[in-house]
């Protein structure tokens, strides 16, 4: 406001000045609220930009390519194998597939022949190696015979599964499915691997058909796993995003220590859990990340401590709260104690271990 306008308000008297100041107070109050709101939005955006897989529920694939901070605390143990740790190395076998004897023909000192002298003993070394890899082709010939009595043309049946003039056998299909589905090797690279190692070029269509064959064969096993998970006392539930044919889907997981059931679905919430049909029949303890859908079911619930650690790490990173660090260390200590006691803590355990 200019000097002349301010003087004009002053000369107009008290009421004019009061009205002007009141108007300015309202403007300042409105601006203060807007500034506070903007500060909150900026803080929320800063927190979101600072999130990664160690301090939130975001997947590791969304992290920037930088070293992530470990959720594990510092250890006083030296790096490498610890005292008492059982090491593993390649052991000799008592019955090798091949034995090669390396003979001595002359004395290394006097040069005389030792060819007819029996060996006093042997030093042994063993080499573990793959045999040369070569595809074997088996030809099946089904006899045809014409009955001399009635003239009927008889044909011997081929073995079960042998349906084409030339085809790949079940072992090749099993390895192809293993590489593609379990080892996550893309179709093109799996085909390249077969050509490089075995000299055969499996097409994408062959790999897809192998997967379909395995899918059909595993249906009974899949249903058995599902039934056993439903009857388990404790089951872990989770879901993560994935893309199917360019569209956003969700991979739902239900697992125990020994069993895992995967179910892709275009939805994340209750529609998916109803279609998967595990939670509607589950009455044990469901361990999960607190996603609201899980609480819609009547089973008991336990929240996942791995997610707690990430969220506590977020509180430490974004708000510098010391209690979050202490709580995370406490959870880790409890986990170590549980592991040490084979999964069960006694009621008489000394609490000073944790505090």
Predicted local confidence at residue 49, as pLDDT: 75
Kindly indicate the confidence band of residue 342, based on its pLDDT and cuts at 50, 70 and 90.
Answer: confident
- Which one, of 265, 261, 312, lies nearest residue 293 by Cα? 265
**Low-confidence winner among 10-19, 51-60, 68-77, 86-95 (lowest mean pLDDT):** 68-77
CA distance 52 to 56: 6
On the question of pLDDT at 46 being above 80, the answer is: no
- Which one, of 35, 55, 38, lies nearest residue 319 by Cα? 55
Predicted local confidence at residue 201, as pLDDT: 85
- Tokens 């049909």 sit on residue: 277
CA distance 1 to 14: 18
Helices and strands per DSSP (H, E), number in the chain: 9, 7
**Phi, psi (degrees; rounded to nearest 5) at 223:** -65, -35
Helix boundaries (H) for the chain:
3-11, 14-50, 170-177, 187-198, 204-217, 219-230, 270-276, 305-319, 322-340
Instruction: Name the region of 199 (left: φ>0; alpha: ψ -120 to 50; beta: rest).
Output: left
* pTM exceeds cut of 0.75: no
Q: Quick one: tokens of 234? A: 């404790």
pLDDT tens across 155-164, in order? 999 999 999 9
Residue range 9-17: average pLDDT?
A: 81
Q: Quick one: tokens of 331? A: 């959870």
Task: State what percent of residues in the chain have pLDDT above 70.
Answer: 87
pLDDT tens across 277-308, in order? 999 999 999 999 999 999 999 999 999 998 89
Those residues whose C-beta lies under 8 Å from the C-beta of residue 350, and which sit 6 or more positions away, are none
Kindly indicate the confidence band of residue 86, based on its pLDDT and cuts at 50, 70 and 90.
Answer: low
pLDDT tens across 217-269, in order? 999 999 999 999 999 999 999 999 988 888 999 999 999 999 999 999 999 99
Predicted local confidence at residue 271, as pLDDT: 96
Of the chain, the end-to-end C-alpha distance in Å amounts to 62
Strands 144-146 and 300-303: unpaired
**Low-confidence winner among 39-43, 49-53, 69-73, 121-125 (lowest mean pLDDT):** 69-73
On the question of pLDDT at 135 being above 60, the answer is: yes
pLDDT tens across 307-325, in order? 899 888 888 888 888 899 9
Instruction: Name the region of 122 (left: φ>0; alpha: ψ -120 to 50; beta: rest).
Output: beta
**Low-confidence winner among 12-16, 25-29, 255-259 (lowest mean pLDDT):** 12-16
Q: Quick one: tokens of 110? A: 């006097």
Cβ 52 vs Cβ 62: under 8 Å: yes
Strands of 234-244's sheet in order across: 260-265, 247-255, 234-244, 285-288, 300-303
Predicted local confidence at residue 245, as pLDDT: 84
- Helices 204-217 and 219-230, interaxial angle, to 10°? 50
Kindly indicate the confidence band of residue 14, based on its pLDDT and cuts at 50, 70 and 90.
Answer: confident
Cα dihedral 290→296→301→305 (10° resolution): -10
């Amino acid at each position: 406001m200019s000097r002349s306008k301010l003087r004009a308000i002053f000369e107009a008297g008290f009421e004019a000045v009061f009205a002007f100041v009141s108007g300015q107070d309202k403007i300042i109050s409105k601006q203060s609220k807007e500034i506070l709101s903007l500060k909150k939005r900026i803080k929320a955006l800063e927190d979101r930009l600072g999130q990664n897989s160690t301090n939130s529920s975001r997947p590791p694939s969304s992290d920037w390519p930088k070293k992530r901070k470990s959720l594990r605390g510092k250890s006083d143990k030296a790096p490498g194998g610890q005292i008492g740790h059982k090491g593993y190395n390649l052991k000799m076998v008592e019955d090798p597939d091949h034995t090669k004897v390396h003979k001595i023909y002359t004395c290394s000192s006097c040069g005389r022949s030792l060819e007819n002298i029996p060996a006093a003993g042997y030093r042994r070394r063993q080499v573990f190696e793959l045999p040369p890899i070569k595809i074997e082709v088996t030809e099946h010939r089904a006899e045809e015979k014409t009955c001399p009595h009635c003239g009927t043309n008889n044909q011997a049946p081929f073995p079960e599964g042998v349906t084409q003039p030339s085809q790949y056998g079940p072992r090749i299909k099993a390895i192809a499915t293993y590489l593609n589905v379990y080892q996550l090797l893309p179709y093109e690279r799996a085909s390249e691997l077969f050509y490089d190692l075995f000299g055969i070029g499996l097409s994408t269509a062959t790999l897809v058909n192998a997967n379909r064959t395995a899918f059909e064969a595993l249906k009974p096993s899949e249903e058995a796993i599902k039934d056993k998970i439903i009857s388990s006392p404790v089951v872990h539930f989770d879901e993560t995003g994935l893309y199917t044919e360019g569209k956003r889907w969700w991979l739902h997981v239900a697992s125990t220590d020994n069993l895992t059931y995967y179910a892709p679905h275009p939805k994340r919430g209750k529609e998916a859990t109803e279609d998967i049909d595990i939670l509607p029949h589950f009455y044990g303890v469901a361990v999960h990340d607190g996603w609201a859908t899980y609480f819609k079911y009547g089973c008991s619930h336990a929240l996942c401590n791995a997610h707690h650690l990430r969220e506590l790490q977020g509180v430490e990173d974004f708000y510098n709260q010391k209690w979050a660090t202490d709580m995370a260390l406490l959870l880790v200590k409890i986990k170590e104690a549980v592991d040490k006691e084979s999964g069960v803590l006694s009621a008489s355990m000394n609490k000073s271990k944790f505090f």
